[in-house]
């Protein structure tokens, strides 16, 4: 699909129009400093211009030459660098930066920042800059929980400082818990979204994923084979594209995608209720969940005992989430999924028309190498006047291509 006024496609145009935002990366003296080298690489992959400022402690863990090679710029270390200070170098750096990101940010650095200290180049820059300041804390779990650190964090947040992480995990000291620096790829994606680089920047997206479970009795339920992997990949791809994403998930064992707000639902009724409570203000709705079409009319209050004669269960139709969203007076751009075993295009286009939605993604679940529990998928996309095949590949890669198509169609329907 190509927009009439934009033959390149919206997402490609967005990428071409990217201005290289300037990030001043501060590296302090924590063991996670070695991760900051990878962070530089990740930021540059996303078209950021990166300059690095290192504290003396950071130089004990990683050499400045490493960061110079990765960033392509000289590394700054000394507040009293005579050559730089002849032009008030620390002030020039403070003015140069669009964003100041400190990763890792140690407990000591956070204490200095909270107290307004300016006893080295990095703390001086942080006081002198008007650019947004972002911290990625890294420290032992007990240091993170300490009341002094908590008070410093609260004070910094009240001043508008943004914080990424920390996360739980293994720590260099042998402990395990919260305090580990967020992974470089995740920090880079957060920065990517904050500066508005994605083709869904500024938009709100609501995604459903996973199966539903319809209770037969207190211990049994009706469900399907959906793993939720595709829906979670779509939610992650939408967040990567700059959207604010809410995910309504049926029962799965999957981890919530980074930067996505998750809501849990069990039955089709739960999911319908949760979607309708969160749909207001959404620009795009993507119904990737495999919602049960039927539910037991009268679930037993006690466990149903085995009977030699068998049992009969009365089922009733569940609420149609996709159709209900599409029929809203102020409805979002609405995308559905269709898992088919035959006549994929015929059934998908029928669903597209009958539910009154904007786009449908169909997949052939009769093939064992894709869909449901598989990590790969292939999608057949249909909309009024068009179609596209997203060939077999890892679900996250397919999801990213899918989001590009959704963005193109959305911006064609709602031009800026």
Tens digits of per-residue pLDDT, 5-61? 454 465 555 554 445 789 999 999 989 999 999 999 999 988 899 999 999 999 999
| Residue 91 Cα to chain centre, angstroms | 35
Q: Which segments of the chain have a pLDDT < 70?
A: 1-19, 80-90, 171-174, 196-197, 308, 367-373, 416
Query: 97: helix, coil or strand?
Result: coil
Cα–Cα distance measured from residue 416 to residue 407, given in angstroms and rounded to the nearest whole number: 12
pTM: 0.63
Q: How far apart are the first and last CA of the chain?
A: 18
Domains of the chain, CATH where assigned: 20-194 (3.40.50.1950), 204-299+314-413 (3.40.50.10300)
Per-residue pLDDT, 395:
86
Per-residue pLDDT, 256:
87
Specify the DSSP element, H or E, that contains 23.
Answer: strand 22-27
Cα–Cα distance measured from residue 268 to residue 213, given in angstroms and rounded to the nearest whole number: 7
Per-residue pLDDT, 4:
42
Q: Which residues are catalytic?
A: 173
Per-residue pLDDT, 69:
93
Cα–Cα distance measured from residue 403 to residue 134, given in angstroms and rounded to the nearest whole number: 28
């Amino acid at each position: 699909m190509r927009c009439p006024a934009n033959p390149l496609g919206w997402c490609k145009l967005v990428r071409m129009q990217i201005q290289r935002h300037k990030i001043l990366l501060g590296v302090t003296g924590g063991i996670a400093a070695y991760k900051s080298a990878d962070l530089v690489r990740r930021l540059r992959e996303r078209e950021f211009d990166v300059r690095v400022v290192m504290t003396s402690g950071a130089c004990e863990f990683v050499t400045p030459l490493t960061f110079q090679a990765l960033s392509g710029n000289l590394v700054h270390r000394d507040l009293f660098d005579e050559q730089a200070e002849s032009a008030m170098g620390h002030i020039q750096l403070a003015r140069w930066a669009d964003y100041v990101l400190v990763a890792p940010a140690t407990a000591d650095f956070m204490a200095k920042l909270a107290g307004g200290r300016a006893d080295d180049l990095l703390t001086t820059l942080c006081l002198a800059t008007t650019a947004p300041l972002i911290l990625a804390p890294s420290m032992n779990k007990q240091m993170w929980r300490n009341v002094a650190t908590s008070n410093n964090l609260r004070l910094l947040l009240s001043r508008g400082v943004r914080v990424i992480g920390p996360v739980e995990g293994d720590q260099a000291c042998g402990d395990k818990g919260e305090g580990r620096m967020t992974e470089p790829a995740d920090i880079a994606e957060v920065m990517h979204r904050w500066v508005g680089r994605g083709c869904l920047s500024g938009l709100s997206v609501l995604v459903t994923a996973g199966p539903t479970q319809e209770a037969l009795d207190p211990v049994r339920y009706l469900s399907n084979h959906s793993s939720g992997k595709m829906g979670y990949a779509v939610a992650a791809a939408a967040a990567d594209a700059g959207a604010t994403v809410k995910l309504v998930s049926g029962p799965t064992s999957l981890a919530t995608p980074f930067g996505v707000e998750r809501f849990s639902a069990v039955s089709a009724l739960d999911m319908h209720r949760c979607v309708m409570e969160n749909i207001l203000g959404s620009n795009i709705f993507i119904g990737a969940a495999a919602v049960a079409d039927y539910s037991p009319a009268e679930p037993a209050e006690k466990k149903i005992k085995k009977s030699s004669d068998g049992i009969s269960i009365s089922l009733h139709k569940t609420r149609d989430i996709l159709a209900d969203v599409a029929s809203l007076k102020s409805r979002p751009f609405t995308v559905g999924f269709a898992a088919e075993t035959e006549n994929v295009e015929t059934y998908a286009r029928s669903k597209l028309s009958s539910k009154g939605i904007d786009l449908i993604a169909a997949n052939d679940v009769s093939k064992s190498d894709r869909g449901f529990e598989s990590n790969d998928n292939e999608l057949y996309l249909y909309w009024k006047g068009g179609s596209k095949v997203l060939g077999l590949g890892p679900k996250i890669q397919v999801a990213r291509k899918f989001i590009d198509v959704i963005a193109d169609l959305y911006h064609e329907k709602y031009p800026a």
